[in-house]
Structure 1
Amino acid sequence: MATAQLGTQTASTTLRAPRVFSIDVFRGLTMVVMIFVNNLASVKGLPWWTYHAPGKVDAMTYVDMVFPAFLFILGMAIPLAVEQRLSKDPSHTSLWKHIALRSISLLVLGLILTNAGAGDPALIHMPPGLWAILALLGAILFWMVYPQAETHKNLVKALRLTGLALMIVMFAIFRRTLKDGSVAWIRTAYPEILGLLAFAYLTTCLLYIPTRRWRWAPFLWLIPLTVFCALCCAHWIEFPRHAGLYLWPFGNGSDTLISMAGVATSTIFVGAQSHRWPTFRSKATWAVGFAVVTLIAALLLTPLGISKIRATPTWSLYSVGSSILIFTLLYWICDVRHHTRWAAFARPAGSNTLLTYLLPDLWYFAISLLGITWLRTHFAWGMPGVIRAMVFTACIIAVAAVLTRLKLRLQL
């Protein structure tokens, strides 16, 4: 998954391959851009391409490519994680159990974030910001990778159980008031980005793992996924708006399509099948060719629209083609030329991604709880707002770097 630590690739021979720096760098850079654009979203008076394109407009901006980049790097991590896990434990039952638990964990985190501001203070008996902080604190305690865990087993077990209990209590007491005055529990219709990553991870594994020994399988899977996405966008296939992902986790196929493209790219560069392309020239040739095919397919499907909000196949394939080209460049810089120092600022976000992802939300919940509105009402227009977003991003990345250095990290 995108937030997992990749570490090193482990082949079936149990030999460890060198660390693929470009994967961490790509993930870290994506995280940096995500934090920046999320903070920039509240700034007014900027060019249209600095925001998400409206759902009714056939257009996409660089902001619309951030989430697909997460999906793409999630897919790239899957072959490495699967081979590493099977090399330690060849049981496919254990593998699928791990995939299911990881998917559920991401979904739980997504539901916390998407419901954070919806709680009714009178019904949950606390401010929504405090509810969100306590729920995330429980998640952090439960999924923390504790230093020296083997020497403090009882303490670590107690902390994990405390975190789990805290999450259960927060979910149990949550209530929200609907527009008609009725009371409801957790909203599940939109599971936030982490929840969408959970469904993409699960569905990509469902397709990839049974066919992983066939070198061309990830590439071939892209064909039915693209066709299915096109048919959904053309309204030839319809799914219920509410609970759709829970009944059919593939959705319209766009997220799985992007993630599977990451699997295919991993096959070229770093997967167990990558020896088929022994030199960087051969890898780059196939990768660039792959990118060109996806970009041409995106162009041909333009009549179906270009929109992140509508998850059209053109948006998906343009994002895939761009991600392939960006990763190819990063692979050449970081793993062929071994120039990695320039990306040091992004490495903590790439190796400790889940905790870094939660830090901005924890900050927003904290200042909301404290009633601080100054930062929201000042530096919220034009270039001062851009500077504010840059400073905020730098601060979050710096905190993530400190926490990573202190060996405080989350891993599902």
Structure 2
Amino acid sequence: MNMRLSSIDILRALTMFLMIWVNDFWTLKDVPKWLQHAKVSEDYLGFSDVIFPLFLFIVGLSIPFAIKNRLKKGDSQKSIVGHVIVRSLSLLLIGVYMVNYETAYNDGIIIGKSFWTILMAVAVFLIWTDWKKSPIPQKLYVPLKSLGFLVLVFLAFIYQGGESGQYWMRTQWWGILGLIGWAYLANALAFLFARGSLIAVIVLWVVFNSLSVLGQTEMAPELNGVLRYFSTIVGGTVPAFTTAGMVASLVFIKWSNNNIGLTYFILAVIGIICIAYGLGTRQFWGISKLRGTPSWLAICSGMGFLLFTLLHFIADKKKRTTWAKFIAPAGTATLTCYLLPYIIYPLHELVNFRLPEILNTGALGLLGSLVFAYLVVLLTGWLEKTGIKLKL
């Protein structure tokens, strides 16, 4: 069986493309409510509330295939554990810097918030670019990575955050990449130690969903001291999306060789059950991304199962992938694609470039943001062709 599925790359590319699009909504006016994130007090699922859960689901889809490929190549379990830990810590570190960009105090930073952010992104490129596949001479690999770390240290040293620069860098909520890092760490290690057992992964999925439910009650555990850093895992909701993706992959691996029709049926049934559970429990918790409710978790997980099934049928069974080539770089150089706006937006601020208001309003604004997302993908593809691609 081919251990790399086109459907996973396409789903990842679609999700990243849409993430860049919805992340640009802050620059627009009159965005339809159904496209936006629901507010914390609302019982509602906006289009934007689905994107991040799907990305976490895709992380889970990829874990069994990635680890099985490493084992097939002869990597030891110990080396894979080391890779998982380093990758997770890298995501957490980048996520912390990105979160602190959001609360940076421009007047208190000697180089200003915008230039601070550009240097942060450049440092990430210096450290995590796969230089072996670039045209850069090998003798420069270590100096470039070292320079990147020095830049991060410098940025931490000069940082001031808050409304008046009253605090230094802090974890806050870890950021998108940090949450992915925690979900990946918990699930990849669990997959390894469970030796890829479908039963064990299903049990883990139930545990995380139960923790999500517990988090909505007064019995939710209070984490203090060092333990508070593990609240993402203990909360259950975020890692549960990734575990759901692992369940989908393991179901596929177990049955697809013998009966792909049965595999599709099982995945679709699981997806429908998840959505039905989410809608059925809505009366207890409501559907809310910001509150991380179990209903939101279940519905978005169900969407993940159904989308994976549909895209596998189209891309892997029917071999129809041409339609997705225009966004392919977002699926193969995903981190590069995600990071580029952290250079583009600050540059936009530094040159003080502004489009006419009509082009940032309503349907025209949404179309403009869609074009922006596609340009980011094109730039990602160009960088990938030149050998510049981030790899953790």
Q: Residues 294-353 of structure 1: CA distance to partner in whole angstroms, max 9, x if unpaired?
A: 122213321122100001111011001111111111000000000010000121100000
Q: Distance in 1 between matches of 2:114 and 2:26?
A: 20
Match of 1:7 in 2: none
Q: 1:403 aligns with which of 366, 379, 383?
A: 383
Match of 1:6 in 2: none
- CA change 1:343–1:247 in 2 (3 A) is closer
Match of 2:42 in 1: 57
User: Is 2:358 the counterpart of 1:338?
Assistant: no
Q: Distance in 1 between matches of 2:133 and 2:36?
A: 44
- CA change 1:144–1:383 in 2 (3 A) is same
Match of 1:25 in 2: 10
Q: Residues 24-43 of structure 1: CA distance to partner in whole angstroms, max 9, x if unpaired?
A: 10000001111111112432
- CA change 1:204–1:357 in 2 (3 A) is same
Q: Distance in 2 between matches of 1:82 and 1:65?
A: 27
Match of 1:153 in 2: 138
Which amino acid in 2 is paired with 1:163?
G
Match of 1:351 in 2: 332
Superposed counterparts of 1:279-358, under 5 Å: 279-302=259-282, 303-358=284-339
Contact 2:271 2:303 in 1 (8 A): yes
Q: Distance in 1 between matches of 2:37 and 2:133?
A: 43
Q: 1:34 aligns with which of 6, 12, 19?
A: 19
Q: Distance in 2 between matches of 1:321 and 1:365?
A: 37
Match of 2:194 in 1: 211
After the TM superposition, list the runs of 4 or more consecutive aligned residues in structure 1 that deviate by more than 4 angstroms.
147-151, 240-245
- CA change 1:402–1:38 in 2 (3 A) is same
Q: 1:43 aligns with which of 7, 24, 28?
A: 28
Match of 1:127 in 2: 112
Which amino acid in 1 is paired with 2:48?
V
Match of 1:78 in 2: 63
Overall identity of the aligned pairs, in %: 29
Contact 1:104 1:198 in 2 (8 A): yes
Where 2:198 maps in the other structure, the secondary structure is: coil
User: Is 2:149 the counterpart of 1:169?
Assistant: no
**Deviation at residue 63 of structure 1 after TM alignment:** 1.2
Contact 1:203 1:249 in 2 (8 A): no
**Deviation at residue 172 of structure 1 after TM alignment:** 2.6
Q: Residues 377-402 of structure 1: CA distance to partner in whole angstroms, max 9, x if unpaired?
A: 55222112112112211211111121
- CA change 1:368–1:332 in 2 (3 A) is same
Q: Distance in 1 between matches of 2:205 and 2:95?
A: 27
Where 2:238 maps in the other structure, the secondary structure is: helix
Which amino acid in 2 is paired with 1:23?
I
- CA change 1:225–1:121 in 2 (3 A) is closer
Moved more, 335-344 or 144-153: 144-153
- CA change 1:367–1:378 in 2 (3 A) is farther
Q: Distance in 2 between matches of 1:291 and 1:69?
A: 13
- CA change 1:202–1:46 in 2 (3 A) is same
TM-score, normalised on structure 1?
Answer: 0.88
- CA change 1:153–1:312 in 2 (3 A) is same
- CA change 1:219–1:111 in 2 (3 A) is same
**Deviation at residue 217 of structure 1 after TM alignment:** 2.1
Structure 2 spans left out of the alignment, 5+ residues = none
**Deviation at residue 173 of structure 1 after TM alignment:** 2.5
User: Is 2:185 the counterpart of 1:185?
Assistant: no
Contact 1:280 1:336 in 2 (8 A): no
Moved more, 301-310 or 183-192: 183-192
Which amino acid in 1 is paired with 2:200?
A
Contact 1:234 1:304 in 2 (8 A): no
Structure 1 spans left out of the alignment, 5+ residues = 1-15
Moved more, 238-247 or 103-112: 238-247
User: Is 2:99 the counterpart of 1:96?
Assistant: no
Q: RMSD of the alignment, in Å?
A: 2.3
Q: Distance in 2 between matches of 1:171 and 1:323?
A: 37
**Deviation at residue 149 of structure 1 after TM alignment:** 6.2
Q: Distance in 2 between matches of 1:194 and 1:148?
A: 24
Q: Which has the larger share of helix?
A: 2
Which amino acid in 2 is paired with 1:255?
V
Match of 1:5 in 2: none
Contact 1:124 1:175 in 2 (8 A): yes
Contact 2:134 2:387 in 1 (8 A): no
User: Is 2:106 the counterpart of 1:118?
Assistant: no
